[in-house]
Amino acid sequence: MTFNTLSVGNGVELSYIDSGAPASPKTYTTIVAIHGMCFSNLIFEKMLPAASRKGTRFVALNRRHYPGSTAYSSHELGIAVSGGTDEQKDSEFKARGIEVATFIDHFIQQNNLPSIPEDGKAGGIILLGWSLGSAIALAAIANAYALSSDTRARLGAHIKSVIVYDPAPIVLGLPTPEQNWTPLLDTYVPEGLRLGAFGQWVTGYFDHGDLAKRDLSSLSWVLPSSSPIPTFFQIPAEKFAEAARYGSDGFSDLPYMVHFMAQFKAAYRKVINDPETLNIFPSLKPVLLVGEKSGAFAIAGMWAAEDDQKVVGGSQLKINLVTNINHFWHWDDPEAALEGFLSCAA
């Protein structure tokens, strides 16, 4: 699939795939999606035809260092992988958010995207962050204050919802449970195979205990179910090879999460309960979307967000647990996923 690119300033380009404006109606909703760890925007490929059939537009961008987008500089990569001072990490994370916000603003102008209508229905933009991409989506909203007044006005007139889709607690800057397990951290898995093992394992459907009890020990942290079949076995091998990124582009994501927890948390809290954010985005609906059959990290993320809401108070966050779906809803059932994303923002 051919990537388009859009300049976002400072010599940085972000690549993207786009379903294009639907044939009808003239007023349509645009979903801008940001991929997660070790999967590029091609993991959203099946959403494009589904969106066209639904009269919706779907755009999926590639984060920095992923195919078609500008690679990190050696300085940026060093901070992502090894950390830096708090000031350096604040600056880098802010830059990533501004790049995405600028991408959306340029895309609005380039394509004359419909703004949010008075009835709040068709029209406007849903910003969708999947897994680790949730942190970048939140960064775009949280750092919009640093953009020009014209840009803020356009973004505020268009972005009606930000959906964080299946983030682990760490992606929201919240504590990781002691029960946490992933092939990425298992030292018994050879280091060179950990990203690949994660890429297969995370596509499973997990049978958890009674979620109403909110017991982390009742979650299936390690073993996915045999039914439904994990998404990995349903993606054609050539498509999986295109979307999965286990090399130099994807390797920095894990240390990035570890080093930038404080920045993730600040962005998350600013989006869900900061008056300045609501001033810029008066129609914004923050949503946490979680798959009931996703890995335990996603359920833990939901519970961590619920607990955090009790601490900070005044949260605007809406939490939506969807039954019988896993971390790859957008691939396994793109039509239902599209309906889900649209209904979350309604």
Q: What is the pLDDT of residues 305-334, one digit of tens each?
A: 999 999 988 779 999 999 999 999 999 999
- Each residue's pLDDT tens digit, 36-89: 999 999 999 999 999 999 999 999 999 999 999 999 999 999 999 999 999 999
Given a contact cutoff of 8 angstroms between Cβ atoms, the answer to whether 34 and 10 are in contact is: no
Predicted pLDDT of residue 50: 98
Q: 328 φ, ψ to 5°?
A: -120, 40
Q: Please report the pLDDT score of residue 3 as a whole number.
A: 84
Per-residue confidence (pLDDT) for residue 251, from 0 to 100 = 84
On the question of pLDDT at 1 being above 80, the answer is: no
Give yes or no for residue 342 having a pLDDT over 80.
Answer: yes
DSSP states of 121-139 as a string? SSSSEEEEEETTHHHHHHH
pLDDT in tens, 254-301: 999 999 999 999 999 999 999 999 999 999 999 999 999 999 999 999
Mean pLDDT, residues 214-238 taken together: 96
Distance CA 31, CA 298 (A): 22
The pair of structure tokens assigned to 196 is 């690949």
Burial 195-232 (b: 16+ CB within 10 A, else e): bebbbbbbbbbbebeeeeeeebeebbbeebeeebebbb
Tokens of 45: 């490929």
For residue 208 the two structure tokens come to 């958890």
Rounded Cα–Cα distance for residues 72 and 75 (Å): 8
Quick one: angle between helices 133-142 and 86-111, nearest 10? Answer: 80
